[in-house]
Structure 1
Amino acid sequence: MATHLITGAGSGIGAAVARRLHGRGDDLILFARDAGRAKDLARAFPGARTLVGDLANPERLSWALGQQELPDRLDSLLHVAGVVELGEVGELTPKAWHGQLTVNLISPAELTRLLLPQLRVSRGQIVFVNSGAGLTAHAQWSAYAASKHGLKALADAVRAEERPHGVRVTSVYPGRTASPMQAKVHQQEGKEYDASRWIDPESVATTIVAALDLPRDAQIDDVTVRPGR
């Protein structure tokens, strides 16, 4: 039975992946920003374990994990959590830049660092859920896209570094996906949100699970998922 640690399991793509893995009997460790959120996740996924840590404060993640029981091995680490705040470069404040770079890039790097020993034991896999913005930046998306371009660089570097340890690294680049984050994006853009126009989170979950289940003679480095309508 495989053990997976997932950030962002409370909604959207993260929740879809958690449901898929939970439904087939895999062990889940769900990362939550506080104890209240951890209780919500534990109720939603009976039998799953939780870890509490604030991705907005990566300097404290090592201490937070040190106060909790970690698994001896991990088959996968799934970085799904993220934040977005749109705005033109002429308007975005340092706080907006720091917030997105911290949650979307620095914390995934720190969690990866802290959990590499467990991933090496199992010759496991790291999945970075990136974004189409990690490949192309558009107007008003500068800070978010910068964080996701950085996430691609992080994944590429970790892939090269961990190849001798047998750890696989996959980057997934979804297009616009129906989720609370997408609803927030539409609100920031001043557009009406119609979930039916965008990718179902279950479709992205299918892609992620396929990458996890790929036989060990191959790996998926990068995969792009786009709306089909």
Structure 2
Amino acid sequence: MPQRDRADDKRVLVIGLGRFGSSLALELVRHGWEVLGMDSNPRLVQTFADELTHTVIGDATDEETLRQVGAAQFNRAVVAIGSHLEESILTTSLLVDLEVASIWAKATSRRHGRILEQVGADHVVLPEHDMGERVAHLLSGRMLDYKEVEQGFAVGKTRAPESMLGRTLAETRVRQKFGITVVAVKRVGSSFTYTSKETVLHKGDVILVAGRNEDVERFAESR
């Protein structure tokens, strides 16, 4: 797998082929990426050998093993070990030492995530935490969808409240009242389009709002 120009390099090393790692790797392959899947479990490697570009059995906590599989030649790597904290942290640290440009790492808790960031992970993913938080918001309120973009800031999808119908966004003073911004609107039978201060909301409109978590939640509960 020769090195390519970084601008169009669509190769990634995925370490850990459990549920998260394998799902990620397979989706990347479907999007045209070349994926080297690595795991210490021979059964998992064999399972995905025919579906991923390349697979290899190896201990990612061993620096020499990482060198032998060519980890240093990748611009992107995903540490999907997750449940084994020590292995996850050590593998991330070794990839940093090998100067992998962009390292994504799965964490099982915010504390685990902070440690991964401290040793050099560029992006930390908390799939179980994020999904649990999202479902909690959907179950407990009027939100149609919810995504925390980063800690403390979120985007929510909800129906336009009756109190805002028939007026421009400027007239509703929604930013002053709730501290959120309505960034897009979807009319019945249409796709999402960006809003402006002159946008008028109508019954049945679905809107995307952005702001601090608590402000997005407070707005979604308003009618």
Q: TM-score, normalised by structure 1?
A: 0.47
More strand by share: 2
Q: Which has the higher contact order (CA 8 A, sep 6+)?
A: 1
More helix by share: 1
Which structure's CA Rg is the greater one?
2
Q: TM-score, normalised by structure 2?
A: 0.48
